[in-house]
Amino acid sequence: MVPTSSSSSELNSVVDAGAGNGTNPGDGGAQPSDGWHTRELRAENAYVGRLYDRLEAQRAFASARLREIHLQDRGGTAQSRMERDTLEIHHTRRLAELHAAEYGLCFGRIESADGERQYIGRIALSDEDHEPLLTDWRAPAAEPFYRATPAAPGGVAGRRHLRSKGRTVVDFDDDAFGLNALAGRDSSELSGETALLASLTAARTGRMGDIVSTIQAEQDRVIRSELGGVLVVQGGPGTGKTVVALHRAAYLLYTHRDRLAKRGVLVIGPNTTFLRYIDQVLPALGESEVVLSSIGALYPGVTGTDTETPEAAAVKGDGRMARVLADALEGLRQLPEDSWTITVGRRSPYHVELEIGRALCERAHAAAHRTGEPHNLARPDLVERLSSELALRIARDRGGNMNLDDVANLADALVGEPEFQAVADRLWPLLSPEQLLTTLFGSPELLARAMPDFSEAQRAALLRDDPGPGQDPAPWTTDDVPLLDEAAELLGPLPGSTVSRQAQLTAQELEFAKVVLEDFGVGLVEMDAEMLARQYQGEQSLRPLAERAAEDRTWGFGHVIVDEAQELSPMAWRLLTRRCPGRSMTIVGDLAQTGAPAGLSSWSEALEEYTAGRWRTVELTVNYRTPAEIMRITEGVLRAVDPALTVPTAVRSGGVRPWSLRIPEEDRGAALRAVVERELAALDGGRMAVIHAPSLPGELVDALAELDGVVVADGPSALDSPVVLMTAAQAKGLEFDAVLVVEPAEILAAHTRGVNDLYVALTRATRNLGVVHSRELPQMLEGLDAR
């Protein structure tokens, strides 16, 4: 461990030497009578005070510019409105960034061997003469602050972590690499150990915070890894995968803003509770253009529910469903056994009966297939083929005195005939994705035809009851969303839908947008001319990227980050790769935590098909969440998941041994309630999760629900209440001061990946872990202290 400077005489002398040369920005009028530590603190406060002055000045500038814009006349030409809105966006964003930097503006500095100092913070600041005062943590120049270790200092002689309250620096910790190396002492590889441990042992607030001041070297390598290709970050529980992925989003947007900001970055999390848990991290880093979503929300107009049975989830997620949907669609394009007969011109004296034979229908089908267009967009070619052949036949039957224009008019007239349209609907019905899925899931015959490779039971799992007249259909589930999206790809938009209307931009609209972009230069607005022009279709004002992307199913993001990626089914991967045409992705997860029925057991399963040879894996190895005492208990459980896996090293021990308590079978509710009450009192304002099997008996839920402050996981206050009742699947990615695992035997038996769920449940605690059971305790938990 590296001692802090205040207790290290060697270190004092190094820092003194640097501080005393009078040329460094940290000098702040030291008094000869003060101790070294006090003088240093005063100097740091003087420097940081100057940084806040600069921050204020920049805020005042951005506010003044915004006020001017707001005072301008709102009318004018389309081009001037575009210009004004573009500048408004720019200054609003800048102001948000400057406000986000308020808390912990500057958190450290590095010093080179020749005494040169560089302060590191949330944003870059310079003085009135443009001399740099503060380096943005994402800039290449800040890298040594995170990467330097005693074994590999990389030119850094000293590193200081500043700890602040509000705008005041209250303390600092120093790492002196040169001297440690000289002294040959055992040194920690942890950077800013005191600041890190203070952050790790703080009570949880229910929301994830940023770690910008204590990012560790192995995490920094992930954050700054290159943009292209697919980066897979595998790591055990608590190794910082989520928090690192979010910092990577901020880093990539900073470093590659020209390439990424126009299309945005998409972050996928497992559910809405998790998204709420992480939603403050990126705004705190000054980023507001990142779209957070779950798979269930990626299809516009639908919010998938989590009500799927494991059997249906496994089938719906199966990659073969892509073929099934295509075959089901083909199955809905009918052909006559022999022929269909229609009567056209019923209301005129010239009505005529037409026989439409199978061969003609096959030719019409072939014409539509030949277009290579999605189903709905191919229908006009089918209609054209059918109507023109029929019109020619009528012309021939009338004795050949019709010219080509007459035939074309006749064909148009045929298309307007109801019976002709009815035939076209049978041959090639116009369908929405919802209609295709509803038809498939409501028809055992169609399921049997489209799913010959699946068992009877698998097909039955997909059947949805007809809700009956006037009843709402069952809501779409999260596992339906990738299927709806796949169906949308096959079908294309319906004629007259918003998507097909949007396709037309006038040349003038594009011209305006190009001029605006040229005037303001690249980078001021994160759009290309086409995107900007689209914003002004229908006189809309500029809307945030998240909003635009959310309602456009075909939006292609510049980079996609997937958290808890092990849970995604092959069908969900297909959807995500469509949302990321450039295949620039960061995928973080832990294969030992896979709980979803169609989830992954290897990364290549998901990635080889779409990104063969373009994905690389890195591993995070240190657990920052769970104390060593708890991690030891999970060893047996992890062995049961996969004997080859090892638990990540816990960065700290908590001093509290995990325990188990057997409660009587007959009165489980009251006994469990008593335990929860006792643990909650001991927590002293912290937060606790009670994690149970998916089928926690109602009597236990009722007993706990009577307690003040207990909520269930899917409610809106799940992250804000002192106690939350949840399954392991719902707890995925979250953390709590204390965790009570109820009936581990039931969690194990709940489904085929029950042991993975138990591993997830046991690794959520930052301080205390208890296991409450009335059934036999599984042998893999034998290390618990029995109470």
Ligand X SMILES: Nc1ncnc2c1ncn2[C@@H]1O[C@H](COP(=O)(O)OP(=O)(O)OP(=O)(O)O)[C@@H](O)[C@H]1O
Q: How many residues bind ligand X (CB under 6 A)?
A: 23
d(CA 648, CA 632): 10
Residue closer to ligand X by CB (options 261, 592) is: 592
Give residues 608-627 in contact with ligand X (rule: CB under 6 A).
624-625
8 Å CB contact between 164 and 48: yes
Nearest approach in angstroms of CB 320 to ligand X is: 29
Q: Does 242 bind ligand X (CB under 6 A)?
A: yes
Measured at the CA of 647, the angle between CA 227 and CA 197, to 5 degrees, comes to 75
Q: Does 271 bind ligand X (CB under 6 A)?
A: no
- Nearest Cα neighbor of 190 from 236, 150, 247 is 150
DSSP string covering 155-210: TEEEEEEEEEETTEEEEEEEEEHHHHHHHT----S-SSHHHHHHHHHSPP-SS---
Residue closer to ligand X by CB (options 478, 763) is: 763
**According to CB under 6 A, which one of 121, 238, 597, 722 is a site residue for ligand X?**
238
Return the CA Rg of the chain. 32
Residue closer to ligand X by CB (options 241, 767) is: 241
Residue closer to ligand X by CB (options 42, 160) is: 160
Give the Cβ contact number of residue 379 at 10 Å: 24
Nearest approach in angstroms of CB 627 to ligand X is: 12
User: Which among 8-16, 59-67, 240-248, 546-554 is the span making contact with ligand X, rule CB under 6 A?
Assistant: 240-248
Q: Does 529 bind ligand X (CB under 6 A)?
A: no
User: Which among 238-246, 399-407, 449-457, 568-576 is the span making contact with ligand X, rule CB under 6 A?
Assistant: 238-246
Residue closer to ligand X by CB (options 179, 215) is: 215
**According to CB under 6 A, which one of 44, 173, 175, 735 is a site residue for ligand X?**
735
Q: Does 500 bind ligand X (CB under 6 A)?
A: no
Question: With b meaning 16 or more CB within 10 Å and e meaning fewer, what string describes 571-583?
Answer: bbbbbbbbbbebb
d(CA 354, CA 339): 10
Q: Does 534 bind ligand X (CB under 6 A)?
A: no
| Residue 769, φ and ψ in degrees, nearest 5 | -130, 125
| Residue 202, φ and ψ in degrees, nearest 5 | -65, 150
Q: Does 214 bind ligand X (CB under 6 A)?
A: yes
Q: Does 247 bind ligand X (CB under 6 A)?
A: no
Residue closer to ligand X by CB (options 509, 735) is: 735
User: Which among 196-204, 396-404, 489-497, 703-711 is the span making contact with ligand X, rule CB under 6 A?
Assistant: 196-204
Residue closer to ligand X by CB (options 169, 196) is: 196
**According to CB under 6 A, which one of 733, 744, 754, 778 is a site residue for ligand X?**
733
**According to CB under 6 A, which one of 98, 148, 211, 587 is a site residue for ligand X?**
211
- Nearest Cα neighbor of 214 from 227, 201, 232 is 201
Measured at the CA of 348, the angle between CA 345 and CA 349, to 5 degrees, comes to 115
Nearest approach in angstroms of CB 651 to ligand X is: 9
**According to CB under 6 A, which one of 381, 590, 737, 743 is a site residue for ligand X?**
590
**According to CB under 6 A, which one of 28, 235, 286, 770 is a site residue for ligand X?**
235
User: Which among 123-131, 195-203, 360-368, 542-550 is the span making contact with ligand X, rule CB under 6 A?
Assistant: 195-203
**Exposed, middle or buried, 389 (CB in 10 Å: 0-12/13-18/19+)?**
middle
8 Å CB contact between 177 and 711: no
**According to CB under 6 A, which one of 3, 25, 108, 240 is a site residue for ligand X?**
240
Residue closer to ligand X by CB (options 216, 660) is: 216
Nearest approach in angstroms of CB 562 to ligand X is: 12
Torsion of CA 310, 312, 316, 317, to 10 degrees: 10
Q: Which residues contact 30 (CB under 8 A, 6 or more apart)?
A: 19, 39, 42, 43
Q: Does 595 bind ligand X (CB under 6 A)?
A: no
Residue closer to ligand X by CB (options 238, 286) is: 238
Pairing of the two strands 736-742 and 765-773: parallel
d(CA 38, CA 29): 11
User: Which among 28-36, 231-239, 571-579, 772-780 is the span making contact with ligand X, rule CB under 6 A?
Assistant: 231-239
Nearest approach in angstroms of CB 204 to ligand X is: 7
Nearest approach in angstroms of CB 603 to ligand X is: 15
Residue closer to ligand X by CB (options 172, 536) is: 172
Look at the alpha carbons of 185, 189, 195, 201 in this order and tell me if their dihedral is positive or negative.
negative
Position of tokens 């989003």? 249
User: Which among 94-102, 193-201, 250-258, 718-726 is the span making contact with ligand X, rule CB under 6 A?
Assistant: 193-201
d(CA 7, CA 492): 69
DSSP reduced 3-state for 656: coil
Residue closer to ligand X by CB (options 242, 477) is: 242
Q: Where are the alpha helices (DSSP H) in 653-743?
A: 668-683, 698-705, 728-731
Give residues 6-35 in contact with ligand X (rule: CB under 6 A).
none
Nearest approach in angstroms of CB 332 to ligand X is: 43
Nearest approach in angstroms of CB 624 to ligand X is: 4
| Residue 456, φ and ψ in degrees, nearest 5 | -55, -45
Q: Does 577 bind ligand X (CB under 6 A)?
A: no
Q: Does 493 bind ligand X (CB under 6 A)?
A: no
d(CA 390, CA 420): 10
d(CA 380, CA 371): 10
User: Which among 49-57, 114-122, 139-147, 236-244 is the span making contact with ligand X, rule CB under 6 A?
Assistant: 236-244
Q: Does 199 bind ligand X (CB under 6 A)?
A: yes
Q: Binding pattern to ligand X, positions 763-782, x when CB under 6 A?
A: x-------------------
Q: Does 294 bind ligand X (CB under 6 A)?
A: no
Q: Does 237 bind ligand X (CB under 6 A)?
A: yes
**According to CB under 6 A, which one of 86, 149, 187, 219 is a site residue for ligand X?**
219
d(CA 284, CA 272): 19
Nearest approach in angstroms of CB 641 to ligand X is: 13
Nearest approach in angstroms of CB 93 to ligand X is: 26
Q: Which residues contact 383 (CB under 8 A, 6 or more apart)?
A: 364, 415, 424
8 Å CB contact between 172 and 44: yes
Residue closer to ligand X by CB (options 661, 734) is: 734
8 Å CB contact between 424 and 379: yes
Nearest approach in angstroms of CB 732 to ligand X is: 7
Q: Does 215 bind ligand X (CB under 6 A)?
A: yes
- Nearest Cα neighbor of 197 from 212, 214, 209, 181 is 214
Residue closer to ligand X by CB (options 200, 701) is: 200
Q: Show the tokens assigned to 705.
A: 């629900």
Residue closer to ligand X by CB (options 130, 165) is: 165
8 Å CB contact between 711 and 676: no
| Residue 325, φ and ψ in degrees, nearest 5 | -65, -40
* Residue number closest to ligand X, CB atom: 240
Residue closer to ligand X by CB (options 215, 290) is: 215
Q: Show the tokens assigned to 540.
A: 């809309």
Q: How far apart are the first and last CA of the chain?
A: 35
Residue closer to ligand X by CB (options 237, 296) is: 237
d(CA 146, CA 149): 8
Q: Does 241 bind ligand X (CB under 6 A)?
A: yes
DSSP reduced 3-state for 662: strand
Nearest approach in angstroms of CB 245 to ligand X is: 8
Q: Does 647 bind ligand X (CB under 6 A)?
A: no
Q: Show the tokens assigned to 95.
A: 């102001």
Measured at the CA of 79, the angle between CA 76 and CA 81, to 5 degrees, comes to 55
Residues binding ligand X (CB under 6 A): 196, 199-200, 208, 211, 214-216, 219, 235, 237-243, 590, 624-625, 733, 735, 763
